[in-house]
Structure formats: structure tokens, C-alpha cells
Chain A
Amino acid sequence: MLYLKELTEIGGVSGDESRVRDFIASKIKDKVDETHVDKLGNLIALKKGKKNGKRFLLTAHMDEIGFMVTNIEDDGTLSFSPIGGVDPRVVPGKRVKIADKVTGVIGYKAIHLQKKEEIFKVPAFENLRIYIGTDSKEASSKLVNIGDSVVFTTEYREENGKATGKAFDDRAGCSVMMDLIDNIDRYDFDVYFAFLVQEEVGLRGSAVIAEQIQPDVAIVLEGTTAGDNPEVPEYKWATHIGDGPAVTFMHRGYVVSSKVVQNIMSIAQKNGIPYQAKRRTAGGTDAARLAGTWRGVPSGVISVPSRYIHSPVSMIDLNDYHNTVRLVEKILDEGEVFFK
């Protein structure tokens, strides 16, 4: 797990993934046979097979949720709007970085000035501003531009076998793929690694992947919702951190091929790797795009369960992370079963 800290601390809102992509490319380029960046900005790496033939695709998306500057106000503050699904309740009072260079604070009326009934109201994005320490439009315009991306600035930490940080959705998946690139041998079949753009705004990067790579099977690696908060009854949890990688049987727009699900689960069982079924069907992943474009790629989804995703800070269990790497490695070791 050499890269997770750095990966999560890089800013990479949908459409502005270049820093994440450059970081990944610099670390993997000497360990794979080919890398290229496609027209949409997806980074695709190939580890060639020993025999010519089948293609196994692994994907993770590089982008994260965040914001974009929509206007610079006369008082120097910045209006902004969300990119991807951001819960407005977790936004005020956070430190952010604009265009990877300017630090700002998302402000809101101080508690002293609010009426009782105001405090519990969710602020609308139109009533929030980013302060960057200037007091005029002119001064702000020298530092930032309309259209600049805005990210939370959470540092990564490990404690008690858990990691906290931002953007585990889906830098966890990127990190799993990078670990695999470091560790795996050459297989009989080609292994493609696609680091994708613009997942959070509607599975856009993955829309051009199937036809480009023409894989026989794909596994999408994700950081997914845990939803195992104490106030939620256990029978409504999506996953539980610490119970192992989550295997998806269905999500928005796609029922995962039952053969793919069976293969994943039996490989986990055979190798004594804990896993859990993802127990809610809301939300979608790039698997829906891969299955529904070109001639259709049977696609599975394996996720690192993550608490409080789409917020400034989320939490994963490091055992889940390591077990995800192990599971995907075993899946590649037994990759031939996916081609039958």
C-alpha cells in the first residue's frame, strides 16, 4: 500500500484529473508494457499476456466529488456549485483548495448570528461562498478563475487499523490497481488497467472504454458506501467495514452477470478471503457502461467499504483494503474461469 496516502491527498475533481493521472502514470510506466491516455483523458495501461488472446480489464476511476467556481463576487468571495453528489450538510466550515494552488474556506453565517430555526436548516449551495482572504473581485481574479475546480484538503491518516482521508471513492480502487501492477506476474492473457475520468458526473470516461479495449471480462474496483452508522438498523446497511471486500450483484442500470458474481465469490471462499455482498442497490458504477456499450462486457464490481463517502472525510478498514488486493490478485491467478 505504497500509494494510497498520496493518491487521496491529490485533488482530482471530475474533469480535472490530470494531477492524479500524472502521479499514477509516473509510478506505473516502467512496470507495464504500454500506457496511453485516450481522448477523454482515461489512462490505460497494458500488461501483455504470454499467449495471445483473451483480455482481462480492471478499472477504477480517478475523479472525486468536489466543486467548481461559478462566479467571483464583488466582495472577492467565490460562488460555486457541486461536481458529483455532494451532501450540502457537510460543506460549510471546510477548508478547500482551488485550482490546486489557492486555499479557501467555505463560509457561512456564524452560529452567534443565526436564529435557532436557521441552525438546523441545510444551507443551499447558492447561499454558500468560498473566502480566499481577498476583499475585491479584482484581487480574487488574480488568483482564481471561473471554472477552477475546488477540492477538500483532508490529510490522510492511519489509526487503529483504519485509514481516514478524502476520496477513497475511488482512489482506493486506483491504489489497489497500482499495488497489483507492482506485484503481479505475467499471465497468459492480457491485463488492461484503466484509470478512468468523470465517473462521478455520470459514468462518462468509461463510455469509451469497451470499444477501445474490447475486453472479454471486466472488474470495476470501487470505494463504496458502508452506511453502517449506528443510527441505521443493521438490516439497512449497504456494507460493514471490516467484513471484507464488497461484491455487487446489482446496482443502478445493471444486474451483474451471475457467472461473474459466482466466480468472484468462489475464488474468495477457496482462498479464505473474507468478503461480503453489497446489500443495497442504489448508485451505479462504470460496470453499467462497460456492460451496455460495444458488444457488452460482462463486468463485476468489487469495492472497499468506506464510511461517509462523498464527504470531506471517510474511513476504511485497512484489512478490507488488503483483502481487496488479495482477492483481485487471486482472481487474476484464476482468470481463465472468467473466459469460459
Chain B
Amino acid sequence: MIETIRKLAEAYGPSGREEDVHRIVLEELKNHIDGYKFDRVGNLIVWKDGKSGKKVMLDAHSDEIGLVVTNIDKNGFLRVETVGGVPPHPYVGQRVKFPQCTGIVYVEGETSQDMKKNFSNLSFDVMYVDIGASSYEEAQKVAPIGTFGVYDSRFMQNGDFLTSKAMDDRVGCAVVIEVLKRLNSPNNTVYCSFSTQEEIGLMGARVAGYDIMPEACIAIDVTASSDTPKAFKRHAMVLKKGPAIKVKDRASISDRKIVDKLIELAEESGIPYQMEVLIMGGTNAAAFQATASGIASATVSIPTRYVHTPSETVHLDDIKNCVNLLIEYVQKGV
């Protein structure tokens, strides 16, 4: 499973450009599903037939945050804007990977005072990308306006701590893949969406939900953690304590019946879990709840350190226990 996570996390897939991720998902799943399709906004939807006549859905978004080239100056330096909620700070001195080249991101400033000001009010307005081009024309050849880039970051393992860019939400994709691999003759038909454009506004999930209209849907996504020095005090989530059953974030309140069922199943099977109330953020559950005539939806999260940086860090135990809990749910939950 670690190798699958590595492959998925290192793949290039900013919002709207999820094709590589979908290719990896399909390779992993080709012998484990009864069918798949790509819908009109690029969502990959796979399924495994059950006997009960009921549909249950799992969702993990396939896109990641990124940058997009919006302007190129006459000396070949790029200006970029964000794709999703990208903080500027991790990008200082960081490399950004475009499909045809890699660039270095840095901060402008003509005096030390300028520099100080720009660093303390850091924004992409005062940052540029250097791709080793010397003219507009040269840059436009390899990174034309409208080119999407992602963190240039490698997968790393420290014991059972796994670190990479885009754990948000490739770790969710890996969980869903593992559930499908281990699920033999499911009771309920299980649909899984690897949905597009989550980071810029839950775009793909609205369409996937409308299309499938399952009895219940669980989004698997990352959440914040509070187990680092002077971390956000009002959050309870920590690594190694199990998957987090989300009660609420800023975009959705989880369906209470699903939450209660998840707790019940975890208790019954002795699967460690923790409860989650996230003060910020949102997941595709919000989109599922509000599409068509509404889908009962919840989120199960993998607690993650350093979300939206090149070094999003998760723990293998949480991932495995998340898989176990979801298998219980799709078999017995609806």
C-alpha cells in the first residue's frame, strides 16, 4: 500500500489536470472492479456490484493544489496565481513542477526594506518563477500562460510517518483503492468517485453525486492535526489515533446517522478512531449533500500535518484503520 501512496502522491494532478492520477488509479484497480467511466467533467467513477440493490459511495478527490502561469515578462520570468488554497510561504525557494519544466519560486524586492515588507506581507503578487528562460518567447514555449504547476516534492518515509506533497487527497485515493481491492462480493453496490477540481470549489463532486445518487456517501479526505509544537489548540485531531470521523467543518455537517453508524462499527470491530470538529475547511461531503435532491453524506479523515505544503505528513496506522472502518461501513452501514 505504501508504494501505491507514493505513486499517487508524486503524480502530477492540479485541479483540472487529473489525468495522470486517474491512470494510476485504474492500473491499480483493473482487476478489482466491475466497471468504470469518465464523466463529462473528468471524474473517474468506478464500481463493484453488490446484491442488496442499494448504492453506497466513497469519494476521494484526485486533484491537488497548485499554481498557474498567468503572465510572462520580457526576460522570461513567470508570474503565477494560485489553484486552490495555496499558502505563499512554503513556496519561497521551493521548486514548482510544470509538465515541461521545473521552476524556482522567489520573492522580488529592490531594497532590503522592500524585501522585509514583501516577506512579512507575502503574496504571489510579489513572487515570480524562474524557469531558466531568458525571454518571453523562450518561456512561452515550455510554460505558456495557462500552464499548471505543482510542488516539486518527493515521497519520504520516517518509520510509519509518510510525507509528500498531495497527500491531500492521494492518501484518500489510496484508501479507496485498498477498500476496493479487499472487498470480496460486497453486499451493497459500491461506487467510488475520484473526483476533479475539489480544491477550487468542490466542482467535480456535485456532478458525480448527481449522476450516481447513492443511499449514502462518505468523502475520504485529509484533516488538520494538533500534535506539533504550539499547534492549533481548538482542534483535537492527532496522528496515530485512528481515522477521524468528522462531525463538522466549515462547509458541511456530517449526516448524523452515518456518524453514529461509523462509531458503532468501529466500537464493534475494535477499530481505533477519533472524533473531528474542524473549524476551517471543507470536503466534497458538502457538495454531495447539496446536489440533486441531496445525498446523506459524511467525511472520514486522515489526520495530516502540514496540509497544503510540500510535506504533508500522515501515519500508516491511521490509513490502515481507515480502510478497515470503511470496509465495515460499506458492508454493513446502509
A residues near B, CB below 8 A?
234-237, 249-250, 252-258, 261, 277, 279-282, 288, 291-298
Is the pair A291, B41 in contact by a Cβ cutoff of 8 Å?
A: yes
CA–CA, A296 and B40, complex, Å: 6
Asked if B68 and A281 sit within 8 Å, CB to CB, the answer is: yes
Set of chain A residues within 8 Å of B203, measured between Cβ atoms: 253-255, 288, 291-292
Cβ-defined contact, B146 with A235, below 8 A: no
* B83 beta carbon closer than 8 Å to chain A: yes
Closest A residue to B66 by beta carbon equals A255
| A277 touching B145 in the complex, CB below 8 Å, given contacts A258-B16, A293-B206, A297-B40 | yes
The listed residue (B71, B201, B210, B211) touching A254 by CB distance below 8 A is B201
List of A residues within 8 angstroms of B49 by Cβ: none
Which residues on the A side are within 8 Å of B40 (C-beta)? 295-298
Which chain A residues border B206 with CB–CB below 8 Å? Answer: 292-293, 296
B70 interface residue per 8 A CB criterion: yes
Q: 1/0 per residue B4-15: CB within 8 Å of A?
A: 000000000001
In the complex, A235 Cα to B81 Cα: how many Å?
Answer: 12
Residue of B nearest to A251 (CB): B200
The answer to whether A255 touches B210, judged by C-beta atoms less than 8 angstroms apart, is no
Q: Establish whether residues B41 and A249, one from each chain, have CB atoms under 8 Å apart when the complex forms.
A: no
By CB atoms of chain B within 10 A, which of A234, A291, A297 has the most?
A: A291
Per the bound structure, the CA–CA distance linking A236 and B73 in Å amounts to: 10
B79 at the interface (CB under 8 A from A): yes
Chain B interface (Cβ < 8 Å from any Cβ of A): 15-17, 39-43, 68, 70-73, 79, 81-83, 125, 144-146, 148, 197, 200-201, 203-204, 206-207, 210-211
Can you list 7 A-B contacts with CB-CB less than 8 angstroms, sorted by A residue number? A288-B201, A291-B207, A293-B210, A295-B39, A296-B204, A296-B207, A297-B40
Q: Give the distance in Å from the alpha carbon of A298 to the alpha carbon of B210 in the complex.
A: 16
Query: Are B201 and A250 in contact (CB-based, < 8 A)?
Result: no
In this complex, what residue of B is CB-closest to A259? B42
* Distance between Cα atoms of A249 and B71 in the complex (Å): 13
Q: Which residues of A contact B204 (CB under 8 A)?
A: 296
Q: Is the CB of A258 within 8 A of B207?
A: no
Question: Which residue on B lies nearest to A247, using beta carbons?
Answer: B146
Cβ–Cβ contact B145 & A279, under 8 A: yes
Chain A residues with Cβ below 8 Å from B81 are 280-282
Closest residue of B by beta carbon distance from A277: B145
A277 contacts B200, C-beta separation under 8 Å: no
Closest to B128 in A: A235
Q: How far is the CA of A293 from the CA of B79 in the complex (A)?
A: 32
For the complex, give the distance between the alpha carbons of A295 and B145 in Å: 29
Most buried by B among A255, A277, A292: A255
Closest to B78 in A: A235
Question: B37: shortest Cβ distance to chain A, in Å?
Answer: 11
Choose from B39, B73, B83 the contact partner of A235 (Cβ within 8 Å): B73
Query: In the docked arrangement, what's the CA distance between A105 and B23, Å?
Result: 61
In the complex the two chains form, what is the Cα distance from A277 to B68 in whole Å? 12
Chain B nearest Cβ from A283, distance in angstroms: 12
Give Cα distance in the complex from A295 to B70, angstroms. Answer: 30
**Is B73's CB under 8 angstroms from A255's CB?**
no
Residue of B nearest to A265 (CB): B146
Let me know if B197 and A254 touch, CB within 8 A: yes
Q: With A and B bound together, what is the CA distance between A252 and B84 in angstroms?
A: 9
Complex CA gap A8/B207 in Å reads: 35
Given contact pairs A254-B203, A261-B146, A295-B207, a sample of 12 additional A-B residue pairs in the complex whose CB atoms are under 8 Å apart: A234-B73, A235-B79, A249-B146, A250-B16, A254-B197, A254-B201, A255-B197, A255-B203, A279-B70, A292-B41, A294-B210, A296-B204
User: Closest Cβ of chain B: how far from A94's Cβ, in Å?
Assistant: 31
Q: Are A296 and B17 in contact (CB under 8 A)?
A: no
Contacts of A291 in B (CB 8 A): 41, 203, 207
- The 3 closest A-B CB pairs, nearest first, are A255-B16, A296-B207, A249-B146
Nearest CB on A from B135, distance (A): 14
Give the residues in chain B near A254, CB-CB below 8 Å. Answer: 197, 200-201, 203
* Min CB–CB distance A301 → chain B (angstroms): 12
In the complex the two chains form, what is the Cα distance from A216 to B41 in whole Å?
A: 11
Which of A237, A250, A254, A297 has the most CB atoms of chain B within a 10 A radius of its CB?
Answer: A250
Residues of B within 8 A of A296 (CB): 39-41, 43, 204, 206-207
B210 surroundings in chain A (CB, below 8 A): 293-295
Q: A296 vs B146: C-alpha distance in the bound complex, in angstroms?
A: 22
Which of chain A's residues have a CB closer than 8 A to the CB of B68? 249-250, 281
Q: Report the Cα distance A296→B210, complex, angstroms.
A: 9
Which residues of chain B have C-beta atoms less than 8 A from A257's C-beta?
Answer: 16, 41-42
Q: A235-B72, A250-B16, A250-B68 are in contact. Are A295 and B201 (CB under 8 A)?
A: no
Task: Name the B residues within 8 Å of A294 (CB-CB).
Answer: 207, 210
- Compute how far the CA of A295 lies from the CA of B208 in the bound complex, rounded to whole angstroms: 7
Complex Cα gap A249–B145 (Å): 9
Expressed in whole angstroms, the Cα–Cα distance for A291 and B15 within the complex equals 14
Residues of A within 8 Å of B17, CB to CB, are 255, 258
**A300 vs chain B, min Cβ distance (A):** 12
Residue of B nearest to A276 (CB): B145
**A164 CA / B81 CA spacing, docked (Å):** 30
Task: Give every chain A residue within 8 A of B211 (Cβ-Cβ).
Answer: 295
Asked if A236 contacts B79 (CB within 8 A), the reply is yes
Measured CB to CB, the closest approach of chain A to B136, in angstroms, equals 10
How far is B124's CA from A282's CA once the two chains are assembled, in angstroms? 13
User: Residue on B with the closest CB to A253?
Assistant: B201
Q: How far is the CB of A114 from chain B (nearest CB, A)?
A: 31
Q: Are A292 and B207 in contact (CB under 8 A)?
A: yes
Contact B201 A252 (CB under 8 A): yes
CB distance from A243 to the nearest CB of B (A): 12
Residues of A within 8 A of B83 (CB): 250, 255
Please give the distance in Å from B71's CB to the nearest CB on chain A: 4
List residues of chain B with CB within 8 A of the CB of A236.
Answer: 71, 79, 125
A234 / chain B contacts, CB cutoff of 8 Å: 71, 73
Q: Within the assembled complex, what's the spacing in Å between the Cα atoms of A279 and B145? A: 7
B71 near A235 (CB under 8 angstroms)?
yes
Residues in A with CB closer than 8 Å to B82 are 281
In the complex, the answer to whether A255 meets B15 with C-beta atoms within 8 Å is yes
Pick from B15, B41, B71, B145: contact of A298, CB under 8 Å:
B41
